[in-house]
Amino acid sequence: MRNFCIISIFSVFIMGASCKHRYDYDKKFSYDVQINYLGTKDASTEKPQDDTLSILFDGNFDKDTVSIYINRKHFKDVILTTNEKTGSAGHLRTIDFREITNLGIRINSGKLIFVEPDSDYFNIRLTYIDSLAVIRFYRLFPAFL
């Protein structure tokens, strides 16, 4: 009987620890999304340096896997960790922006962020901080980035 009680208490302890781990897992892969189109179409008449759509990553990435989908097809997975000194986690050049009708971004196994970029915005910045993913579109990245 005593062994049964000890095993029962031990089982409850393990289940409790397992539930906590599950909660941390869900919290890490759950995020809100904010999408901002910056500037106007005539805000900059400059042309991009090349014809690729570029994505800049910054925020609090810590060995996070980001999956990129272009035109509903998987394009690439990248593993990102933010550099503490610069705040940047990386930069990815994709395909010719004129060929992109839609773009999907997924952080770890979180929800898919689905956008249809305007053809006048050639660059995207994804900032991921405290369970908030912010997408910003730019014709040209600002000089301070």
Q: Are 1 and 48 in a shared domain?
A: no
Selected residue with higher pLDDT from 42 and 103: 103
| 6-15, 34-43, 53-62: least confident range | 6-15
Domain count, the chain: 2
Confidence class for position 9, pLDDT limits 50, 70, 90: very low
pTM of the model: 0.72
* Dist CA 138 CA 25 (whole Å): 33
CATH number at 54 reads 2.60.40
66 part of a folded domain: yes
Provide the residue type at 97 as one letter. Answer: F
Amino acid 129: pLDDT = 93
Would you say residue 143 lies in a domain? no
Report the pLDDT averaged over residues 11-15.
45
Q: Is the confidence at residue 137, as pLDDT, over 80? A: yes
**Neighbouring C-beta atoms of residue 91, cutoff 10 Å:** 15
